[in-house]
Amino acid sequence: MFPFSFEWHWDMSHIVFMGGLWYAICIMALGVNYVLGKSFMQTIKGDSGHGHDDHGHDGHGEHH
């Protein structure tokens, strides 16, 4: 899983497989951090959030 584990070889299979895997993990981690960070900032700024218009996106419910 990591280059320092002894099964690891710098060959095509490892680069493709682990490359794809770490790429996906990075995207997910970045995405989650972005969302949490942004929400945190918005909360600090005191934006209650219930005022803005967030209708019309996805199955977000129609409870506004």
Partner 1 sequence: MEAAYQKLVRLESQLHPEGVQRAPLWQFVLWLGFFGTVLLWGVYAMFLCWFKGLNQTNMNDYYGFALWIWADLAVIAVGGGAFFTGLLRYVIGKDPLKYIINYAVLIGFICYSSALLILAIDIGQPLRGWFIFWHANVHSMLTEVAFCLSCYFGVLCIEYIPLVLENRKLDEIPFFHHTAHNFHEVMAIFAATGAFLSFFHQGSLGGVAGVLFGRPFAYRPEFYIWPTTFFLFTWSAAACGPCFTILVTKITEAITRKKLVKDNVVELLAKIAGWMLLTYSIAKIADTLYWGFVMLPKHGLQITDFYTNASLIYTKLGGVPWILLIEILCSVIPALILVSKKGRQSKPALVVAVLLGSMCAMINRWVMVLQVMAAPIMTFDQFALYFPSWQELATTVLPVAYGVILISLSHRYLPVFPQERELNPV
Partner 2 sequence: MGETQGHGHQEGNGHAQGSKYGMVIDLDKCTGCGACMVACMAENNVPTKPDETNKLDTITWMRVFKLSNGKAFPEAETCYLPRPCMHCGGKHDAGHSPCVSVCPATATDYSYKTGIVSQIYTRCFGCRYCMGACPYKARYFNWWDPKFPADMKEYLSPDVSVRMRGIVEKCSFCFHRYQRAMDRAFYEGRELEEHEYQTACTQACPAGAITFGDLNNERHMVHKVVNDKHEGHAVLQGRKPFRLLEELDTNPKVYYLSARDWVVKAGNASLRETSPADKKPSGGHH
What is the widest separation between alpha-carbon atoms in the chain? 55
33 binds partner 1 (CB under 8 A): no
1 binds partner 2 (CB under 8 A): no
55's contact among partner 1, partner 2, none, with CB below 5 to 8 A by partner kind, is none
Amino acid at 1: M
Q: Which of 3, 4, 12, 61 binds partner 2 (CB under 8 A)?
A: 12
Helices (H), the chain: 12-44
32 binds partner 1 (CB under 8 A): yes
Q: What's the DSSP call for residue 3?
A: T
